[in-house]
Structure 1
Amino acid sequence: MSTVQGLLERVVPGSSGKFVIEQKSTAGEDFFELDQLGEKVVIRGNNPISIAVGLNWYLKYHAGIHLSWNNMVAKLPDALPPVLHRERHETASAYRYDFNYCTFSYTMAFWDWARWEQELDWMALHGINLSLALVGTDAVWRNVLFRLGYSKEEVNEFVAGPAFQAWWLMNNLEGWGGPNTDSWYEGRIALQKKILKRMREYGIHPVLPGYSGMLPHNAKEKLGVNVADPGKWCGYNRPAFLQPTDARFQEIADLYYKEMNRLFGKADFYSMDPFHEGGNVAGVDLDAAGKAIWQAMKKNSRNAAWVIQAWGANPRSAMIRNLPEGDMLVLDLYSESRPQWGDPESSWYRKNGFDGHQWLYCMLLNYGGNVGLHGKMQHVIDGYYKAAGSPFGKSLKGIGMTMEGSENNPVMYELLCELPWRSSAFSKDEWLKGYISARYGKCTPRLWEAWVLLGNSIYNCPPRSTQQGTHESIFCTRPSLEAYQASSWSEMSDYYRPHDVIRAAALLLEEAEELKGNNNFEYDLIDITRQAVAEKGRLIYKVIRAAYEAQDKPLLRQASDRFLKLLLLQDRLLATRPEFKVGNWIGQARRLGGTPAEKDWLEWNARVQVTTWGNRQAADGGGLHDYAHKEWNGLLKDFYYLRWKTWLDRLNLLPDHDPAADIDYYSLEEPWTLQHAPYSSVKEGDCVETAKAVQRLLSEETENIR
């Protein structure tokens, strides 16, 4: 069975005989065609990925079926809707990239092969042909350090735990979340081999982590090498940076690549991100550093290209400008908000772009894996065509999804992945009609009205906004009289009318009886209703503040009780979908453990990441608390409720100052991270009936606020 036929049988079981798959190897741009041969639909393309995109296009725009990350199995009618006229799509985008380092921690830290296989199918269907592949890098480093003379205990102090490896691999921290078990390492090796095998079958180029000069912070004493100290990151010691002029740089790089090759084979793309997010470069010859990293990579794989993230000051121009063009691919990580490709209107404007190097237009969208609706729908479209038509467009080689956390906002990822396959600019409203019809099987007036409201409000964040992801739920913030955003660096602002979201949720509910059982619809119904409840919570919070400032004790008590009731109502609503349950996240972690102790360690990783993130110093002093907050069933009831009730009970005593100043929030939070009380990962309650009950209460709250 061919790779595409295997995909067909997984996503549309029993249907491969209804299609004719034709691979036409041709020079030039990637393409797919849809055609008809008798009763069979023909899908033609120049490689498996192009054919998979053609299959997805047919399912969406001919059969009314939308395959999403949590809805990857479809049922086709006995007679396929025919392709009445041959349809052809081409793309000039050589690369369509997937993943941020952070995605591997915020979303994928505990995925097994079944979940990875599903994701790889999704990637193929959406045209991804270049993907970061980090799984198992911890095992590479373990073996390299053993060969350098480090003990098992020393390795454990360096390699981070499963939920925090992204920041370790970006040279931000050491050891946090560990020590990892021997069985963990072996499991990661086996999983990565399966991932890479499927990627190569599809023709997805893996981007493996290359050697960037990282070493444990005690490398000078242990190895006698010359290192630079990049400083601290949010309270954590960064790994040391091996100076490029040190005689052992190439030796250690060779050792690293040999171990990577032995376990996972060579690649044509390697990712290296030295000095990420504020790393100190004092005393480092940046030109020499870039050349040393590049030379080590090319020595290992002569046709390889260096993939690097454009974030903040990185990549430093001095490090990349003297490297050969064609040997570097820059991910403009936050193109939709802070493009660095050369847009003079950007707050991160780089006059020379990426110094002639090839680059990708990327959408970051999500930070911390936070739950919430968000996007710049029309701006993402316009920004892509603006970049392509600019003087820097000649080095633009495609698009990339660089979200910190996935499994959210499916509409935005669908939009971005279609951009390369559409020949000219288009409007979001024009595109939304097709999206709705595919997602739900039809586009009714009420569904259309709901999505227009969303598209013109919460999915219409202003182009120049640098807001880091979703408009964060007030329920997830540490309470105070100045509570607004949950994470330290959100930069969020009130750019839409909350009542537009509340109205959109009500409109979806009006279609619920007709669409009951439609998985895509029911997911969206709960997600959009969840957003409406969060909006209502923020409105009631404003009443709490006003009542306190007026010293109106009865109103303060009433508003406080309403707020807590709404928070628990949100918990009940989200229990109806497994995607919004902390039990799903914790369950993934525990299932990977082979012993009770290993299960508990993995659960601790899972719990800490979504709450305090770090130890006290990192959470409070470093600002990392709630960075990866999640509006999830279980967390709302047992974690966020405790914080809010503690603060509200003290506020209702009408003190002369904000009681938040007297509350040690970390001491309230840490005990939850150490618990092992079970949480269910299966849905509880009927989502439509629960949404109806929630909407009734929202209507009552609206009257109360008025």
Structure 2
Amino acid sequence: MNLKSILWILFVSISFSVTASPITGLLERIDKGASKKFVIERVKSDTDYFELDQRGSKVVIRGNNYVSIATGLNWYLKYYAGIHLSWNGMSAKLPATLPAVPQKERHMTTLPYRYDLNYCTYSYSMAFWDWERWEKEIDWMALHGINLPLAITGTEAVWYNVLDKLGYTKAEINEFIAGPGFLAWWLMNNLEGWGGPNPDHWYERQVALQKRILKRMREYGIEPVFPGYCGMVPHNAKEKLGLNVSEPGMWCGYRRPAFLQPDDPRFEEIASLYYKELENLYGKANFYSMDPFHEGGNTTGINLDAAGKAVMKAMKKVNPKAVWIIQAWQSNPRPDMIQNLESGDLLILDLTSECRPQWGDPASEWARKDGYGKHNWVYCMLLNYGGNVGLYGKMDNVIDNYYLAQEDSRASTTLKGVGMTPEGIENNPVMYELVMELPWRPERFTKEDWLKAYVKARYGKDEPILQAVWTKLANSIYNSPKKLIEQGTHESVFCARPGLDVYQVSTWSEMKEYYNPQEVIEAARLMISVADTFRGNNNFEYDLVDIVRQAIAEEGRSVQKAVTAAYRAGDKKTFASVSQKFLKLIVLQDDLLATRPEFRLGRWINCARALGDTPEEKALYEWNARVQITTWGNRQAAEGGGLRDYAHKEWNGLLKDFYYQRWKLYFQYLTQQLDGKNPLEIDFYAKEEAWTKQTKLYRAEAEGDCTDTAIRVFEEVFRK
């Protein structure tokens, strides 16, 4: 074969790679015609890497697989083209001539896994997503290097088939499987049935959606993590099937599913049935996620060593090369359950490495003396709880803990990846950018140096005032101290169930004062000062609304304290004035958040209703959507179980129609007391439950100009 023939084959090979590559589709979704501006080269390598290079007028993105190439593309867009693709915008207009790469830039990582998602994310953020939204998320995953995401959509259909074959009736199956807004906690063995029963169409829709999700993931080379079988059976499996099960116990007021004892002769049979039905619908996987005894699961009378071996054996039977993925959260995984499992067969997610690491950092209250021993693990950032809205981060700690683990002689040998495990997404993009760049940066760096490039990429230009904004935020609200244990954002008092000394909103937030609110307010003031200059810049306008929102929430906390002081002083005039000011702040916050779809209740509810084919289905999905973000559960679970307001949201519509009404009712109650009357205690749950049953229509689209509104609202709140 002559040289000309070889070159022709090489040219055809490269051309086919470009046209057939999922990167082509990705580029075209970012900006139509963008794929013609790049040369994509996939080169075999045992180590994940990407290179940025130049060939004539075209930018070359080179890597060992499509995820590495997508990561390189994202790096180029951010740090060369000044284009930051984010949850608030996954498309952009690329320049006619791309900025050149002056010299080859190479990044590699020795960590094979970049993990994504928490079971909770599927309910708090993804419960009502359609394919259009999922397509954007899979692109986002690839751009951020994710090659190992949890993939649980449609698992309810697997269980439906399993229980049907075990002799359960349709009604019994639907008493076991949770509704759309609560599937995460059913799959984590926390509850049964809440939010259901699901219509037949739900199962059909979820199967079709999961197949599209998996097809795209596999095109990229992304490995889906399927829920495996960990021994979960319905609570009545002893009576119904004669199985030897443990007592299921309770979780936050809900009865748990039962756990099938590993020595029950039918354990292997039911596990095999589960995996068969899973494979029939979605194929096999190389990774399966299982979390037996999650959040206080009852282990009394269970041989944990035997349980771990039974779960592993069932998984290995379906795929001998498969790896069991398990979340390290609270006392899970129990040491006795995993200590005799083979090295390499388990991948442990250190679920909140930035806050309560378990891998062995002696400064952590959850630290395990010997870490995870011989088992592999992933450094994860949890960050968000309940999908709550609010600026929050532990910037220094995210960076420092990662390099601390890398430098630990024992933990570093089994550290195999970096991951994101938030309960809710579409918030605080800066933190997710930070954590997902860690594996590509071998040298320790500071948040100050990193932010300089991030701010320029985020807004497309280097603006000193915006650098000052992020310096203030990074040294205050985004830098929660290492020793501070806090479940996510410093919660907005607007969302709290009213009280005189109300502080945190959700039961387990563990909030502490760790930053000066004036720093946030001043950051918002600086954003306002350049708002006209950046008018029309999507990333800036999203951040403008979010930062001004945070500033108003800070003011709300201050005014609420003044309300309490006036009441206790018996000063009726001042009480009337400051309580009305507090209510006005909620209205202004509602006005501000109406200008971005990301902060609108209507988007959440309308997405839920859109999945229904009938009025009854639409009503069920809307009820799921409303309950999850307010009462969360029935009265027992909401009140006694502590679940109410766990998934609170500072959203347009919810502020005005739910939180405002609670506070208004409470202020009326206090006013009556100041007038010497003896009003009846408020049954808040009754009022909250009534709202969950409403069907008021809410718009999903933005209303008003966000820049004009932010300026107006800020000036009204902080007028000197």
TM-score norm. by structure 2 comes to 0.96
Q: Which residue of 2 aligns with 1:407?
A: 426
Q: Which residue of 1 aligns with 2:172?
A: 154
Asked if structure 2 preserves the Cα contact closer than 8 Å seen for 1:618 and 1:624, the reply is yes
User: What is the alpha-carbon distance in structure 1 between the residues aligned to residue 617 and residue 155 of structure 2?
Assistant: 20
Report the 3-state secondary structure (helix = DSSP H, G, I; strand = E; otherwise coil) of the residue aligned with 1:20: strand
User: What is the alpha-carbon distance in structure 1 between the residues aligned to residue 45 and residue 488 of structure 2?
Assistant: 40
Report the 3-state secondary structure (helix = DSSP H, G, I; strand = E; otherwise coil) of the residue aligned with 2:524: helix
User: What is the alpha-carbon distance in structure 1 between the residues aligned to residue 165 and residue 676 of structure 2?
Assistant: 58
Asked if structure 1 preserves the Cα contact closer than 8 Å seen for 2:590 and 2:656, the reply is yes
Give 2:344's match in structure 1, choosing from 316, 323, 326. 326
Q: Quick check: 1:581 aligned with 2:600? A: yes
**Cα deviations across residues 459-506 of structure 1 (Å, max 9, x unaligned)?**
010111110000000000000112111100000111101111111011
Give 1:434's match in structure 2, choosing from 442, 446, 453. 453
Q: Which residue of 2 aligns with 1:625?
A: 644
**Cα deviations across residues 623-663 of structure 1 (Å, max 9, x unaligned)?**
10000000000000000011101111111234599999921
* Aligned length, in residue pairs: 700
Q: Which residue of 2 aligns with 1:374?
A: 392
Structure 1 residue 255: deviation in Å?
0.3
Paired letter, 1:382: D
Asked if structure 2 preserves the Cα contact closer than 8 Å seen for 1:320 and 1:355, the reply is no
Q: Quick check: 1:278 aligned with 2:296? A: yes
Q: Which residue of 2 aligns with 1:17?
A: 36
Report the 3-state secondary structure (helix = DSSP H, G, I; strand = E; otherwise coil) of the residue aligned with 2:533: helix
| Aligned-CA RMSD value | 1.2
Asked if structure 2 preserves the Cα contact closer than 8 Å seen for 1:373 and 1:458, the reply is yes
Q: Quick check: 1:181 aligned with 2:199? A: yes
Q: Which residue of 2 aligns with 1:76?
A: 94
Asked if structure 2 preserves the Cα contact closer than 8 Å seen for 1:477 and 1:486, the reply is yes
Paired letter, 2:398: V
Residues 226 and 655 from structure 1, CA distance in 2 versus in 1: closer, same or farther, beyond 3 angstroms?
Answer: farther
Paired letter, 1:539: S
Q: Which residue of 1 aligns with 2:497?
A: 478
Structure 1 residue 546: deviation in Å?
1.2
Structure 1 residue 230: deviation in Å?
3.2
Q: Quick check: 1:551 aligned with 2:570? A: yes
Q: Which residue of 2 aligns with 1:115?
A: 133
Paired letter, 1:694: V
- Greater mean deviation of Cα atoms: 580-589 or 656-665: 656-665
User: What is the alpha-carbon distance in structure 1 between the residues aligned to residue 192 and residue 449 of structure 2?
Assistant: 48
User: What is the alpha-carbon distance in structure 2 between the residues aligned to residue 509 and residue 356 of structure 1?
Assistant: 52
Asked if structure 1 preserves the Cα contact closer than 8 Å seen for 2:672 and 2:679, the reply is no
User: What is the alpha-carbon distance in structure 1 between the residues aligned to residue 415 and residue 215 of structure 2?
Assistant: 29
Give structure 2 stretches of 5+ with no counterpart.
1-18
Residues 589 and 51 from structure 1, CA distance in 2 versus in 1: closer, same or farther, beyond 3 angstroms?
Answer: same
Give structure 1 stretches of 5+ with no counterpart.
none
Paired letter, 2:672: L
Q: Which residue of 1 aligns with 2:542?
A: 523
Once the two structures are superposed, the pairs formed by residues 337-356 of structure 1 within 5 Å of their partners are 337-356=355-374
Structure 1 residue 53: deviation in Å?
0.5
Q: Which residue of 2 aligns with 1:565?
A: 584
Q: Which residue of 1 aligns with 2:506?
A: 487
User: What is the alpha-carbon distance in structure 2 between the residues aligned to residue 508 and residue 202 of structure 1?
Assistant: 38
Q: Quick check: 1:237 aligned with 2:258? A: no
Asked if structure 1 preserves the Cα contact closer than 8 Å seen for 2:570 and 2:674, the reply is no
Paired letter, 1:532: A
Once the two structures are superposed, the pairs formed by residues 76-115 of structure 1 within 5 Å of their partners are 76-115=94-133
Report the 3-state secondary structure (helix = DSSP H, G, I; strand = E; otherwise coil) of the residue aligned with 1:356: coil
Structure 1 residue 412: deviation in Å?
0.2
Residues 217 and 553 from structure 1, CA distance in 2 versus in 1: closer, same or farther, beyond 3 angstroms?
Answer: same
Paired letter, 1:568: V
**Cα deviations across residues 273-298 of structure 1 (Å, max 9, x unaligned)?**
00000111000000000000000000
Residues 698 and 304 from structure 1, CA distance in 2 versus in 1: closer, same or farther, beyond 3 angstroms?
Answer: same
Asked if structure 2 preserves the Cα contact closer than 8 Å seen for 1:651 and 1:658, the reply is no
Once the two structures are superposed, the pairs formed by residues 630-649 of structure 1 within 5 Å of their partners are 630-649=649-668
User: What is the alpha-carbon distance in structure 1 between the residues aligned to residue 623 and residue 225 of structure 2?
Assistant: 29
Residues 141 and 432 from structure 1, CA distance in 2 versus in 1: closer, same or farther, beyond 3 angstroms?
Answer: same
TM-score norm. by structure 1 comes to 0.98
User: What is the alpha-carbon distance in structure 2 between the residues aligned to residue 38 and residue 343 of structure 1?
Assistant: 49
Report the 3-state secondary structure (helix = DSSP H, G, I; strand = E; otherwise coil) of the residue aligned with 2:181: helix
Residues 566 and 394 from structure 1, CA distance in 2 versus in 1: closer, same or farther, beyond 3 angstroms?
Answer: same
**Cα deviations across residues 207-254 of structure 1 (Å, max 9, x unaligned)?**
000001000000000000100013100000000000000000000000
Residues 658 and 217 from structure 1, CA distance in 2 versus in 1: closer, same or farther, beyond 3 angstroms?
Answer: farther
User: What is the alpha-carbon distance in structure 2 between the residues aligned to residue 229 and residue 361 of structure 1?
Assistant: 34
Residues 437 and 661 from structure 1, CA distance in 2 versus in 1: closer, same or farther, beyond 3 angstroms?
Answer: farther
Paired letter, 2:154: G
Paired letter, 1:408: N
Give 1:30's match in structure 2, choosing from 48, 56, 73. 48
Paired letter, 1:362: C
Q: Quick check: 1:129 aligned with 2:147? A: yes
Paired letter, 2:60: V
Paired letter, 2:400: D
- Greater mean deviation of Cα atoms: 270-279 or 351-360: 351-360
Once the two structures are superposed, the pairs formed by residues 445-484 of structure 1 within 5 Å of their partners are 445-484=464-503
User: What is the alpha-carbon distance in structure 2 between the residues aligned to residue 9 and residue 661 of structure 1?
Assistant: 62
Asked if structure 1 preserves the Cα contact closer than 8 Å seen for 2:672 and 2:678, the reply is no
Q: Which residue of 2 aligns with 1:209?
A: 227
Asked if structure 2 preserves the Cα contact closer than 8 Å seen for 1:480 and 1:658, the reply is no
Q: Quick check: 1:66 aligned with 2:84? A: yes
User: What is the alpha-carbon distance in structure 2 between the residues aligned to residue 540 and residue 504 of structure 1?
Assistant: 20
Asked if structure 2 preserves the Cα contact closer than 8 Å seen for 1:613 and 1:626, the reply is yes
Report the 3-state secondary structure (helix = DSSP H, G, I; strand = E; otherwise coil) of the residue aligned with 2:532: helix
Asked if structure 2 preserves the Cα contact closer than 8 Å seen for 1:71 and 1:520, the reply is yes
Paired letter, 1:303: K
Runs (4+) of structure 1 exceeding 2 A deviation are 652-661
Asked if structure 1 preserves the Cα contact closer than 8 Å seen for 2:158 and 2:278, the reply is yes
